[in-house]
Amino acid sequence: MSVDPLVADEFVTFPLTVDGVPREVTARWSESLLTVLRDRLGVLGPKTGCGHGRCGACAVRVGVGPDEPHVLCACLVPAATAVGATVETIASLGGPDGELSDVQEAFLAEGAVQCGICTAGFVTAATELLERHECPSRTEIEEALYGNLCRCTGYGRIVAAVESAARTRRERKDPVPLTTRKLTASLRTGPEAAE
């Protein structure tokens, strides 16, 4: 879709739901979704990084119509194409009273955060991955995080955080606590079966 350059600077008003809150946005056709979120609505979770879709700092989940939301770089999405969409930022991932999500907790526990510029994008991408794949392999984790850059932590701790969050989610779903399974296995066949 190309927009006439004369129209690109015109202001338009359109609906957008951000983190579950319906909003009415007035913005230029030419503005990116990132600009609308940060500058027009004051939503500061998505960060401004490269501005070219190469770092993932601005990653948000966008759902249009009946489609499931998926991760996009907000700096690349023209706001006008998100008319009527739902946008989920890192702010919507935790609990209603500001509790951290399991993925955010894992990032903290594994030391996968430092300066914070990339964190929102990594957590957003990791959350989507874990919603689609209960037990992702290391390769699947690396592929899901491929569009995100970190210049501080290195990627080992970030991948470890995603693995930890996946493990926590699986254990939560398991009705028999891990310690009970280990004890039961050890009673049946000796201590080595509990491993």
CA 11 to mean position of chain CA atoms: 30
Residues 36, 79, single domain; the answer is yes
Provide the greatest CA pair distance for the chain.
77
Residues 34, 86, single domain; the answer is yes
Its domain, for residue 36, covers 5-92
pLDDT digit string, tens, across residues 12-33: 899 999 999 999 999 998 899 9
129: number of Cβ within 10 Å: 20
> What per-residue confidence (pLDDT) applies to 194?
44
Residues 49, 79, single domain; the answer is yes
Strand order in the sheet with 11-18: 21-28, 11-18, 86-88, 59-63, 70-73
Residues 129, 87, single domain; the answer is no
Give the residue among 76, 51, 50, 53 at the shortest CA–CA distance from 146: 53
Query: Dihedral, CA atoms, 87, 90, 92, 94, nearest 10 degrees?
Result: 160
pLDDT digit string, tens, across residues 51-94: 999 999 999 999 987 778 899 999 999 988 888 899 999 999 98
